[in-house]
Every structure is written in structure tokens, then in C-alpha cells.
Chains A and B, each alone.
Chain A
Amino acid sequence: MERDKEKRLGEVLLDEQLITKQELQKALAIQTDSGGKLGEILISEEFIRAIDFYRVLSEKLEMEFVSDNFDCYKEMVDEELVRRFEKETLMQNLFFPLTVNDNNLIVIVLRQEDEKVDKLIEEKIGFVDLKKIIATKRDIQNLVENIFKEEMSRESVSEMYSRQPEESAARVFTLPQIVFFALFSIFSVFGALYYPHQTAVSFFYLINFLFLASILFKFLLSIVGSYYEKHEFISQAEISDIDEKDLPIYSVLVPVYKEPEVIEKLINNLKDLDYPKRKLEVLFLFEEDDLETINKAKSVQTPDNWSFIYIPDSQPKTKPKALNYGVKEARGEYVTIYDAEDKPESDQLKKAAAAFKKSDDKVICFQSALNYFNRNENLLTKLFTLEYSYWFDYMLPGLNALKLPIPLGGTSNHFKMDKLRELGNWDPFNVTEDADLGIRANARGYRVGILNSTTYEEANKEFGNWINQRSRWLKGYLMTFLVHNRHPIKFIKKVGFRGWLTLQVFIGGSVITQLVAPFFWVLFIGWLLDYFSFLTLFYDSFLIKMSLVNLLFGNFVIIYLASIAVFKRNYHELILYVILNPFYYFMQSAAAWKAFFQLFSNPFYWEKTQHGLTSSEVTEDD
């Protein structure tokens, strides 16, 4: 033991045969390149288990080691003492004040020397004698979670609503909105009964204007977006120039629910990320009743600096709630989210870190492009891929170039952690919490940027599954539309008229047009077949012209914009499928109606998308 004390830590680990000489050399080489403590590197590179490392460390430093006798220490916890600290402080600095014994404050720490921890204790408790004992990171997190679990669970649901009730979708409709819609309905019924002609004409005009605005807006965005086709915000040279020592801790939140089929692949995908492993903090967020996924995940080897977090069962059971819970344990300067089926490009985190460094302070989030690796699986995946390519490669860059609010996509959005917290994290009641957060960021004067990196996902290949997923997205869009339209004047003051228009046309307008499109198609086909000749009574010369533009130019735009989408990623084999895009629009209409009904019947219900249905993998061509 005496001899161990004099030896260097690496030598002790070698002597104990916990690591090999090659592993030690590799870890030392990494330390030279990207800095950091040897122990963290050994653990993050999976050369040693955390429990073994900290046991050896504690022996070397002649300190008590908690993790070998965890339950015993757990009973010693002085809750009142712990609660003098904020849970975020404990989680982020990884220490746990256990109890006071013989005028000694016993503190569980990850390492002996940590001035920041000493200072924090001094601030809260004053000058006391500290007795530090060692535990693994996971055990410290467990102890904190154990004390604050209920509070964390409650906050992950209600924190946003209690801080900013007007920005939360917990109440789907506010009273003024209910009054507005009630009055609108009453006037419509009254008009239909007593002034049917004028009411019908007004209705046709209103919807046709909305269609026209929506078409022209998307058309404009695509033209602008296509100009940025070859623009790379972060170049490969900039990535190569990054000094890994300067990179901050990056937290990756991975909410998974009922995903036993894909969890192993996901873990391997995340292991492929090119980011200093000791600075990469991956937090898997499991619902605590989802034992199948949890057990499957436990059977796969993960580095011990990654965490498994179990979300207590509570309503609403949504992804944003899990994210709110998990983000409290995240220690990174930046944070991102990946879904269960995601395969991000390996340099995405480095790109995002470089992008934040390159941008001004107003940019608090970067959205990576999403695309599909199983695009050629069937007709649905092909059409879905065309839609995603067009959306992420042309529409969002168009919004970005025009500095308009960007509704974030569900995954691969990278945030500055402090700004995310300032925004109030995600709204657990909004089923497209991402889109809502993008608009909210804009309303607070921040901007979302577009990152030239792609995350490949699994496209839905089954119709029913697709409808479920799409209906959730559209329901979320409706919620976002309602939330940000609660105070239109205030909203215009915050985001400007163009931002407001984006919300109306891009978020609300797109769902509304999808809702009414089948109705107009029925009218049109009926009229062609000479069943609805009475329609000519309602259509004056101008309305006919506008309807013709919507019908002809609208369908042209639907097809044409999709045809451009194949270029950026060289998906040329999909080009002829773009002709089927109007039929794809019908499917969206079906999903929109489901979303509409669910908005009233079950607004917070999270339609689960089934993953792991494909046998395709990401290939070199992607």
C-alpha cells in the first residue's frame, strides 16, 4: 500500500491488471492531444470500469470509497443538509453533502481536489472541516436524484407552466380564444342560415387566400433556400483546426421509450461520434416502467461516464417531460437531443461547437438536417424522404436566410445550455415541443441557426405508423399556433410582422390547408363530373382565377419543390416519384383530421412512433 502511494496512478492500475500497457499509452496520448484527467479518459474510453478506477483511487488517496458500500452510506444522508444546495448545483458539480459527523462535514466527491466544490460548500455552510470521501459519478447522481426525485418530476411537468403560463400548452385554448372561436362559429352558422350565398363566398375567399399565401410563401422560401445549397456554415477545414482541448463538455440527451429493437444500434451510433469521449456526456432517459428497453440497454456495454436516468411515471408521458427531467442532470455547456433511431454524422458535435463559436450571442440553437437512411424501402419512405430533404435542405435554410422563426425538428437541435434554461426548457404539454421552442426562442429575441450536418433517421415505412407520427406533429403545430397566437399584438411586437406571418402561414396555415384540401378536392371533382354546377353561383371571376392559380400552381409547386430536393443529396433515383406528391398531400390531410380531433379529445397524448421496422442501414452513399 505504501509503495502504491508513491507510484503514479497509471502504474498502480497496471499493477492491479485493470488496464493494459497499450491502453495506458493510448490514454496518455489522448491526454496530450485533448487534455483532461487520466481517470476520466480511461473510463470514457472503456478501458476500465468506473467502480474499479475510483476504488483504486480511493485506496491510493487513503479515502473512504462509497460505491462499495452504497446502501450503508445512503442511510446516513442528512436530507436537510442536502436541501441547502440546489439540485442543479449538486448535479453539475458532482458532489453530495452527506452528513455532519464530529464537526466534520462529510462530502462525497468525484475527486479530492476541486476548488469550485470547496467554494460552493463554503458559500452555503461557511468554514467547516471537510471530510471528503469518493464515489462514482453515477452514485453521486443517484444520491441527488433520490433526494430530489419528486421535485424533479414535478418540475419537469409544471415548471414551465408555473413560470410562464401563457407560453405553455397545458391549457390548449385560453378563454379569449374560446370566446373568439365560439363567436366565429355562431356568426358562421348565422351566416349560413340567413346569408348562405355571402357566407359561402366569404368562406371560399378566405380559404383560397390562405392556400395562395401558403403556396407563395413556400415557393419563396425554396428559392431563397436553394441559393444556400452549397453554402457550408462550418467547413471541413474549420473542423480540422479545432483544438480538442478547447472543446467544452457536450451533453447528449437521448429519450427512449419502448425501443428495445434499436437501443443497441443507437448506443453504437453514439459511440461513433467524433468528440473527446471524456467530454461527451450521454444521458439516456428511460421511462421507469419501460423495463424491456432498460434491460436491453443494460445488456450493452456503455462507457461509465454515460448515464441511465429513469423518469418517474407521471402524466403527461411525453418526450419533452423526459427531456426536462434529464436536462437537470446535464453538465454540458452545450446540449443536443437524439432520438432512438438516430445516426448523426460523426463530426456533428464538433461542427455545432464550432458554429456556436463562430456565431453571435443571439444564436442559441443550431438545427442539423434530418434525413432518412432507408429511403428506398418502399413508396412511403421515398415520398417521406423527398419531403424531409425539401424541408431541411431548402425550406429551413430559406427561413434562416430571411431571419424568420424556425420550427425546430425533433432531434439534433443543439442548444447553449444556459440559454435553454433561460427559455424554460421544453413545454411538456406540447407534442411538438421542438417547433414551439424554436418559435419561443425567436420571440425572446434569439435566433436559431442551421448546421450543415445531417442526422440519419428511420423513415416510417408503414402507413398506420406514419399517420400516427404525422398526426402528432400536426397536433403539435396546432398547439404551437394557438399558444403563440394568444396575444397577437404582443407577439408581433416581439417577432415583427414577418415572424408573425410565418407563424400564421407556415405553422397554422399549413395544417388548416391540409384540413380543408379534401373538401375542395371533392367540390372540384364533383364540379368536373357536373354534380356541383351550383358552385358557379359562388365563384365570381376573381375567385375563379384565384382558385385556378391554387389548383394549378399549387399542385405544380408541390411537385416541383420536391423535385429540387433530390439534388443536394444526389437522391436522383427518387425524381419520378415526385409526381406522386399530391397524393402524399392527401395522406397529410388524413393525418391532419386525426390531429384535429385529438386536439379536443386527447390533446397531450403522445402518439408513439414505432422504430426498428427497417432492415436498412446507413451506407457510404448517405
Chain B
Amino acid sequence: MIRILLFSLSSYYLAKYLKDRVVSYLFIGSLITAFFYMLEPVIIFLLPFYASIFYVSCNEYCSKKRLSQLFVFTFPTAAAALSLSYISWIYGRGFRFIYLKGNLFGTAVEYSGVDLRFNFLTDFSVDMLLYLLIYIFMLIWIIYKKGFAEPFIYIYLMPIFLYEVKHMLENYNPGPIFFSLYVFFGLFYFWLFKNEINKFTKFVFYFLLFFNFSYLIYNIYPSLFFIIDYIS
């Protein structure tokens, strides 16, 4: 859960930087991303996505910034990768330029003819909409209001990329806990744009959030709902 929160938080700050252009947000977002990398090394495979966002997201007024914001974003994670590799070497586990926790490549499944993604989709097809309710709601709102030109929309898609990467490398099939990431993303982005959201949309958001959150909790901690079952 801490990892999920960290990932949401880093994305929130990075999106906030792209929205407000205050360097401290980039600074904090990048540092949290590096920290997240230490807990969840697969994030390194998302770096190219991030890198392209930070490199491309410049208008004519800040075109000189491209390299700087790219550097500030990637440097902490790169430094963390190098540091962990060095530590790995110090402790006699060999120097691996990209340190991946738990010998990740060794455990990655080879394609066995079963489409795991399909499995995932069928497993969750019934619940999917309910799990992602608030995430999809905010996604639609952002696309409707901001279009596809704003870079922070692509940060918003990072949980999907993260799932894809984890799924491909680790044969990861997410449980309900993973979907709280989507709720956090929806929540953080709502927070980011709350001044621009009208009252009715806010009302709908809160309503859906409550529903989404309850559904998630019900699936993560069903025992919490024991009392309801008991009464019913």
C-alpha cells in the first residue's frame, strides 16, 4: 500500500509541476519517484515514458527547459539505480547497472500460450468498471476539459503502464489493492483541479468516490462489512 501511495504521490507532484511550473514540485516528484524505484524497481521501465513527457512538454517560452527538466526528473532515479548497483557490488552480489530487486528477470515467465492479459480482463471484467469508477470519471473530465495536448494527462495514464510492465515482467495479476492506485490517482487529480471543477461535477465525483471506495474496501477487507452482512 505504501508503494501505491508513493507512486500516486510522485505522479501528483509531477503533474502539479507540469500544471504550475514550480520547480519544487518537480524536485519532490522526482525524488519520490526515485524512492519508489528502490521499492519497486520495475518503474525504471516507465522512465522512457516519463522522459518523453518531460522532454516534449515545452512551449516556445520554455524550450530551453527541455533538457533541464528531463535531467532533474531522471537524475534521482538514475542515481538511485547506480547507488543500489554499487551497494549490490559492495555486498558481493555483483555490480548490476540496473539493479532489480529479487532477480526479476529470473522469475519472469516465458510466454506459455496463455494470454495472461486476457485472463486478467476476464477475471475482472465484471468488477472492472466499479474498481476504476473514479479514475475513469476523472479521465473523461480531463480529456473533456483539457484535451490531449496537456502533458499531465499522460502522467495520469501511468498506472495503466505500470500494470502493463508488471504484468509482462512479473506475470503480475493485480488484486484489489492494486486498484486503490487508480482511486488515489482519481483523488489526487481531483485535488489538483478542484478549483476548475464545478459544483455539480464535484457532487458527482464525491458520490462516485464514495461508491468506488466502499466497493474497494469491501473487496480488500470484506470482514469490515461483516456487520452489514450480519444485519442483513
A interface residue numbers (CB < 8 A to B): 222-223, 226-227, 229-230, 544, 548, 552-553, 556, 559-560, 563-564, 566-568, 570, 572-573, 575-576, 578
8 contacts between A and B (CB under 8 A): A226-B22, A226-B23, A548-B83, A548-B87, A552-B87, A560-B72, A563-B72, A576-B71
18 extra interface residue pairs, beta carbon distance < 8 Å, beyond A552-B82, A552-B83, A576-B67: A223-B24, A226-B23, A226-B24, A226-B27, A229-B22, A229-B24, A230-B22, A544-B90, A548-B83, A556-B75, A556-B83, A560-B76, A563-B68, A563-B71, A564-B72, A572-B64, A575-B67, A576-B71
Inter-subunit contact A559/B75 (CB<8 Å): yes
Given A560-B75, A564-B72; A223-B65 close (CB under 8 Å): no
**Are A552 and B68 in contact, CB atoms less than 8 angstroms apart?**
no
Which chain A residue shows the least CB distance to B78? Answer: A556
Q: Judging by beta carbons under 8 Å apart, are A572 and B24 in contact?
A: no
Given A226-B23, A575-B71, are A570 and B86 also a contact pair (CB < 8 Å)?
Answer: no
The 8 closest A-B pairs by CB, nearest first: A226-B24, A552-B83, A567-B23, A572-B64, A556-B79, A575-B68, A572-B68, A227-B24
B9 vs chain A, min Cβ distance (A): 14
Which residues in B have their C-beta under 8 angstroms from that of A222?
27
Given A223-B28, A563-B72, also A572-B67 (CB < 8 A)? yes
A563 to B68, CA, bound (A): 7
Q: B24–A566 contact, CB under 8 A? A: no
B76 & A552 in contact (Cβ 8 Å cutoff): no
Bound-state CA distance A233–B103 (Å) is: 52
Q: Which residues on the B side are within 8 Å of A553 (C-beta)?
A: 83
Which residues of chain A are within 8 angstroms of B23 by Cβ–Cβ distance? 226, 229, 564, 567-568
Say yes or no: A552 contacts B28, CB within 8 Å. Answer: no
Residue picked from A229, A572, A573, most chain B C-beta under 10 Å: A572
CB distance from A545 to the nearest CB of B (A): 9
**Is the pair B27, A564 in contact by a Cβ cutoff of 8 Å?**
yes
Alpha-carbon distance A561/B74, docked complex (angstroms) = 14
A549 (CB) vs chain B CBs: closest residue: B83
What A residues does B87 contact at CB under 8 A? 548, 552
Q: Restricting to B116-155, which residues have a CB under 8 Å from any CB of A?
A: none
Cβ of B81 to closest chain A Cβ, rounded Å: 11
Chain A residue at minimum C-beta to C-beta distance from B20:
A230
B68: A residues at CB distance < 8 A: 563, 566-567, 572, 575
Residues in B neighbouring A229, C-beta threshold 8 A: 22-24
Scoring B22, B24, B64, B76 by chain A CB atoms within 10 A of each residue's CB, the highest score goes to B24
Q: Which chain B residue shows the least CB distance to A552?
A: B83
**Which residue of B is nearest A227, CB measured?**
B24
Q: Is the interface of B mostly helix, strand, loop or mixed?
A: helix
- The answer to whether B76 and A556 have CB atoms under 8 Å apart is yes
Hey, which chain A residues are within 8 Å of B22, CB to CB? 226-227, 229-230
Question: Which of B65, B71, B90 is the most central at the interface, judged by chain A CB atoms within 10 Å of its CB?
Answer: B71
**Once the chains bind, are B79 and A552 in contact (CB under 8 Å)?**
yes
Question: In the complex the two chains form, what is the Cα distance from A342 to B115 in whole Å?
Answer: 69
User: Within residues 9 to 43 of chain B, which ones have a CB less than 8 A from any CB in chain A?
Assistant: 22-24, 27-28
Docked complex Cα distance between A583 and B148 (Å): 43
- The distance from the CB of B120 to the nearest CB of chain A, in whole angstroms, is 37
B10 to chain A, nearest CB (A): 15
Cα distance A563–B28 in the bound complex, in angstroms: 13
Distance between Cα atoms of A564 and B86 in the complex (Å): 25
* B83 nearest CB neighbor, chain A only: A552
CB contacts (< 8 Å) of A567 on chain B: these are 23, 65, 68, 72
Which residues of B sit under 8 angstroms from A576, Cβ to Cβ? 67, 71
How many Å lie between the Cα of A563 and that of B78 in the bound state?
14
B67 touches A223 (CB 8 A): no
Q: What CA separation (Å) do A568 and B75 show in the bound complex? A: 19
- A572 CA to B68 CA, complexed, in Å: 6
In the complex, what distance in Å separates the CA atom of A567 from the CA atom of B24? Answer: 10
Measured in the bound complex, the distance between the Cα atoms of B90 and A388 in whole Å is: 35
- The residue in B22, B76, B90 that gathers the most chain A C-beta atoms within 10 A of its C-beta is B22
Q: How far is the CB of B83 from chain A (nearest CB, A)?
A: 4
- Please, which residues of chain A bring their CB within 8 A of the CB of B86? 552
- Expressed in whole angstroms, the Cα–Cα distance for A576 and B87 within the complex equals 26
Cα distance, A229 to B68, chains bound together (Å): 16
User: Cβ of B83: which chain A residues have Cβ within 8 Å of it?
Assistant: 548, 552-553, 556
B30 to chain A, nearest CB (A): 9
Chain A residues, Cβ within 8 Å of B67: 572, 575-576
Whole-angstrom distance from the CB of B49 to the nearest CB of chain A?
Answer: 21
Kindly provide the distance from the CB of A235 to the nearest chain B CB, expressed in whole angstroms: 17
Within 8 A of A (CB), among B48-78: 64-65, 67-68, 71-72, 75-76
- B85 to chain A minimum Cβ distance, whole angstroms, is 10
Q: List the A side residues contacting B65 at CB < 8 Å.
A: 567, 570, 572
Closest to B76 in A: A560
In the complex, which residue of chain B has the Cβ closest to the Cβ of A573? B64
Q: Give Cα A559 to B75, complex, Å.
A: 9
User: Would A570 and B64 be within 8 Å (CB), given that A548-B87, A560-B79 are in contact?
Assistant: yes
Neighbouring A residues of B28 by C-beta, 8 Å: 223
Partner of A223, one of B27, B64, B79: B27
Chain A hits for B76, CB < 8 A:
556, 560
Shortest CB distance A94–B (Å): 49
B63's closest neighbor in chain A, by CB?
A572
A559-B72 Cα distance, complex, nearest whole Å: 10
**Within 8 Å CB of A552, what residues of B?**
79, 82-83, 86-87
Name which residue of chain B comes closest to A561, CB basis: B27
Minimum CB–CB distance from A547 to chain B (whole Å) comes to 10
In the complex, what residues of A have CB within 8 A of residue B72's CB? 560, 563-564, 567
> Please, which residue of chain A has its CB at the minimum distance from the CB of B24?
A226
Chain A CB count within 10 A is highest, among B65, B67, B68, for B68
CB distance from A453 to the nearest CB of B (A): 20
Q: Which residues does chain A contribute within 8 Å of B90, judged by CB atoms?
A: 544, 548
**With the chains together, A578 CA to B24 CA distance in Å?**
18
Name the residue in A227, A556, A559, A568 with the highest tally of chain B Cβ atoms < 10 Å from its Cβ.
A556
Looking across the interface, which residue of chain A has its beta carbon closest to that of B23? A567
Distance (whole angstroms) from the CB of A579 to the closest CB of chain B: 9
In the bound complex, how far is the Cα of B23 from the Cα of A559, in angstroms? Answer: 16
Name the CB-closest residue of A to B28: A223
Closest chain-A Cβ to B17's Cβ sits at a distance in Å of 10
The minimal Cβ–Cβ distance linking B180 to chain A, given in whole angstroms, is 27
